[in-house]
Chains A and B, each alone.
Chain A
Amino acid sequence: MEPSQLLQNLLNGLAIGSVYAIFALGYTLVFSILGIINFAHGAVFTLGAYFTYTLVVGQFENNGLLKGINLFPNGSPFSGNPWLFALATLLGAALAGLVAVLIERLAFRPMRSRGADPLLALVSSLGVALVVVNLIQLLVGAEIYNFPSDAYGQVQPALSFHVGEKVVIIRTVQLIIFAVSLVMLAILGYVIGRTRVGKALRAVAENPGTASLLGISVDRFILITFFLSGFLGGLAGTLVGTAFGVAGPYFGVTYGLKGLAVIVLGGLGSIPGAVVGGLVIGLAEAFVPSQYSAYKDAVAYALLFVILLVRPQGLLGRAQIQKV
């Protein structure tokens, strides 16, 4: 492979891998606290993109109950420069976080309080996901929504540079995604590792009973976890929506499945594992030869399968030790 091609694939892989990572972190947070997979995370990802779109554009097309609505007749206050767009993105992610909190209250807490099997909570979250996705379609139709190209100001669509005689090109939005993902991962790492909230979260994850005896409100920290998870999912949704368009109510489904692969590959419950898993899968997809690129999903899952054969606990997961 030529150096230019190698670099091009590397950049492509890091950009999409960082989105997988940030999305999968939301899965991992909930899993590390409750030990269950929240299948509604893909729907929250989708909602994040729609919330931001609503703030930035405020209009919807011809199908759905919100058709003809115009929230900002004089133009959206969140459109036209990168900082306002960033603010809308954070607000959209925060709203997605609140929805995740609501999902916890409706789908997970009732099951937990009855001591139900974790499998029931998983199925319950799957049901919530389907309801949310169909609700989105009912409200705004199945159209693809795209952020206007001037929503984040005048930005060069792509940057290019030479490597030898060949040109390497990367879309600006991919660079932004990569940078935002890195910043968010750093913030999350700091919160989890260096703050009182992070300590409490880790205590709840380690042993909810003991944490409760130490005066930590387990329910409150579970809600905080869901908010953080939803925030990250919603943020990933907007990032993907900005890069590739908000491709209809179902566009979170693919990412939901991919996120699942990422956290299994990285190691269930491992935060660094989610990051590494996301980047590994992103890079694996990018290095699939272009004529076979339609099979990149299959390659990602095949890689997952092979790695799990060698390391059943995932790349950075801890092996289960059973004392006898």
Chain B
Amino acid sequence: MKRTALTIALGLLATGQAQKVQVPVPIGIALAQTSNTALLGQEQVIGARLAEKHINAHGGIGGTPIKLIFQDAAGDENSAINAFQNLIGKGNVVGIVGPTLSQQAFAADPIAERAKVPVLGPSNTAKGIPQIGDYIARVSAPVAVVAPNAIKQALKLDPKIKKVAVLYAQNDAFSTSETGTFQDAAKAQGLNVATVQKFQTTDTDFTTQVTSVLNADVDLVIISGLAADGGNLVKQLRQLGYKGLIVGGNGLNTSNIFPVCQKYCDGVIIAQAYSPAQPSASNQLFVKEYRAQYKKDPPQFAAQAYAGVQVMVDALKVLDRQKKLAQWDLDDLRAALNKQILAGKYNTPLGELRFDKEGEIMQKEFYVAQIKMKDAKNGTFVFLK
């Protein structure tokens, strides 16, 4: 009796360990579909869905379709952790693209690391994300690389800039990380950081900060925030009479900012990790598909989520050629996929990209653009060379 029970238990354990990869191949998407962060997350969801549609329309992975399993990671750490746990435990996904925010990544990525499930961060740009673990990589360039270019461009446009005001969202890991880079870059260029102002991503009234900026009599304002708060800040700066140049960080690199600051967006310089004008075939195809559906240029967040799914699928294609995915044990595939992601070279809408051994993105091209508004609601990011 005991022996039979033991045999059954061992049998169950063995089948539990040797779970096969499901078909269609499930890829987890843990992004913000609700909360304030949904403004970014819904763009990412669009990007991921476009990637899924395009990949499956072109034969999937060696004839096997993929299926994106969506879990709402909202805008807080707990929701991200829950989403990751559901995708790993119930969804049996081969890998995860997500979460939306850096601070969520610091909380949720260790869950995937312990379960040995590869993660691609689509928009986590804070310092230290790839170092969370062996299974964590990102397709979003760290701010340290992107931000300084914008200050150099501002100095090209106005060489007389001497005094700078820096404003940042202190409750956002990405913004606090980015502002440090901006401040170092400004000092490295010999500029005097006259005032540093903090705000919260949930703030709407920036009168206090703007008044201080005006009193400091600066030539350049640098903002690290997200589209809602950053756009509002731009608007209030202009309405209250600030006339100098404004540099916006990566969080402002979205067409969602246009309806926020409207005509006041005009002239804002943005450091970009993605540009719709990037000429690669992969990007132009993505831009065409996005425009056809949404009648505007794709924002960076959509492009990065698209790239995240594409990188995972391209790596899976290599593994599929070794052995059909349906024949892999799930745990083995997850481990092999993680290795393959780091080994490959990818042509994505972000341009050509690879990863270093820690999972840090090595992106070939970065851009600086200036916003040109066509009317109250529509604008474009014009390349600055």
A150 to B227, CA, bound (A): 22
Residues on A with C-beta less than 8 A from B211 are: 5, 8, 12, 169, 290
A137 to B36, CA, bound (A): 10
- Using known A-B contacts A62-B294, A149-B263, determine if residue A243 contacts B209 with beta carbons closer than 8 Å: no
Residues on B with C-beta less than 8 A from A254 are: 202, 204
Among A133-167, those with CB < 8 Å from B are 134, 137, 141-146, 148-150, 157-158, 160, 166-167
B198 near A291 with CB under 8 A, answer yes
A145 near B259 with CB under 8 A, answer yes
A158 to B39, CA, bound (A): 29
Q: How far is the CB of B248 from chain A (nearest CB, A)?
A: 15
The yes or no answer to A109 lying at the interface (CB within 8 A) is no
Q: How far is the CB of B130 from chain A (nearest CB, A)?
A: 28
B205 near A16 with CB under 8 A, answer yes
The yes or no answer to B196 lying at the interface (CB within 8 A) is yes
The yes or no answer to B200 lying at the interface (CB within 8 A) is yes
Chain B contributes a number of interface residues (CB within 8 A of A) equal to: 48
B239 near A157 with CB under 8 A, answer yes
- The segment from A24-32, A245-253, A259-267 that touches chain B is A245-253
User: Interface residue tally of chain A, by bracket?
Assistant: 35 or more
B241 near A169 with CB under 8 A, answer yes
A166 to B216, CA, bound (A): 12
Q: How far is the CB of A56 from chain B (nearest CB, A)?
A: 13
The yes or no answer to A212 lying at the interface (CB within 8 A) is no
A141 near B42 with CB under 8 A, answer yes
- Which of A8, A63, A171, A290 is close to B239, meaning CB atoms less than 8 Å apart? A171
- List the B residue with the shortest CB-CB distance to A287: B208
- Which of B39, B207, B376 is close to A150, meaning CB atoms less than 8 Å apart? B376
A171 to B214, CA, bound (A): 14
- Which of B39, B197, B200, B240 is close to A144, meaning CB atoms less than 8 Å apart? B39
- Which of A143, A145, A169, A248 is close to B240, meaning CB atoms less than 8 Å apart? A169
- The segment from B7-15, B110-118, B228-236, B277-285 that touches chain A is B228-236
B207 near A174 with CB under 8 A, answer yes
The yes or no answer to B315 lying at the interface (CB within 8 A) is no
- Pairs A–B under 8 Å by Cβ, sample size 18: A9-B208, A63-B46, A142-B41, A144-B231, A167-B214, A169-B214, A169-B240, A171-B207, A244-B205, A247-B228, A248-B36, A254-B204, A291-B195, A291-B197, A293-B208, A293-B209, A294-B198, A294-B200
- Which of B39, B208, B236 is close to A171, meaning CB atoms less than 8 Å apart? B236
- Which of B36, B41, B212 is close to A250, meaning CB atoms less than 8 Å apart? B36
- Using known A-B contacts A142-B39, A144-B259, A293-B198, determine if residue A244 contacts B208 with beta carbons closer than 8 Å: no
Q: How far is the CB of B33 from chain A (nearest CB, A)?
A: 9
Apart from A141-B42, A157-B240, A290-B197: 5 A-B pairs, beta carbons within 8 A = A12-B208, A16-B207, A62-B295, A158-B239, A294-B171
Which 7 pairs between the two chains have the least Cβ-Cβ distance? A290-B212, A244-B204, A142-B38, A294-B198, A157-B239, A293-B208, A12-B207
Residues on B with C-beta less than 8 A from A251 are: 204
Q: How far is the CB of A301 from chain B (nearest CB, A)?
A: 14
A245 near B260 with CB under 8 A, answer yes
Q: How far is the CB of A261 from chain B (nearest CB, A)?
A: 15
Among A6-42, those with CB < 8 Å from B are 8-9, 12, 15-16
The yes or no answer to A240 lying at the interface (CB within 8 A) is yes
A257 to B376, CA, bound (A): 33
The yes or no answer to B363 lying at the interface (CB within 8 A) is no
Q: How far is the CB of A73 from chain B (nearest CB, A)?
A: 16
The yes or no answer to B170 lying at the interface (CB within 8 A) is yes
Residues on B with C-beta less than 8 A from A285 are: 208
The yes or no answer to A303 lying at the interface (CB within 8 A) is no
A240 to B240, CA, bound (A): 17
The yes or no answer to B262 lying at the interface (CB within 8 A) is yes
A149 near B39 with CB under 8 A, answer no
A251 to B195, CA, bound (A): 28
Of A166, A243, A288, A297, chain B has the most CB atoms within 10 Å of the CB of: A243
B260 near A144 with CB under 8 A, answer yes
- Using known A-B contacts A144-B259, A250-B36, A293-B197, determine if residue A240 contacts B236 with beta carbons closer than 8 Å: no
Q: How far is the CB of A205 from chain B (nearest CB, A)?
A: 33
- Which of B39, B215, B376, B377 is close to A248, meaning CB atoms less than 8 Å apart? B39
A160 to B39, CA, bound (A): 35
A61 to B263, CA, bound (A): 18
Among B328-385, those with CB < 8 Å from A are 376-377
Among A58-95, those with CB < 8 Å from B are 61-63
A149 near B376 with CB under 8 A, answer yes
Residues on B with C-beta less than 8 A from A169 are: 211, 214, 240-241
The yes or no answer to A121 lying at the interface (CB within 8 A) is no
B227 near A144 with CB under 8 A, answer yes
- Which of B46, B199, B238, B295 is close to A294, meaning CB atoms less than 8 Å apart? B199
The yes or no answer to A202 lying at the interface (CB within 8 A) is no
A243 near B260 with CB under 8 A, answer no
Q: How far is the CB of A71 from chain B (nearest CB, A)?
A: 16
- List the A residue with the shortest CB-CB distance to B40: A142
- List the A residue with the shortest CB-CB distance to B169: A294
A250 near B259 with CB under 8 A, answer no
A296 to B260, CA, bound (A): 23
Per-residue CB contact flags for chain B residues 34-72 toward chain A (1 = under 8 Å, else 0) read: 111011011000100000000000000000000000000
- List the B residue with the shortest CB-CB distance to A255: B204
A244 to B295, CA, bound (A): 26
The yes or no answer to B256 lying at the interface (CB within 8 A) is yes
Per-residue CB contact flags for chain B residues 273-299 toward chain A (1 = under 8 Å, else 0) read: 000000000000000000000111000
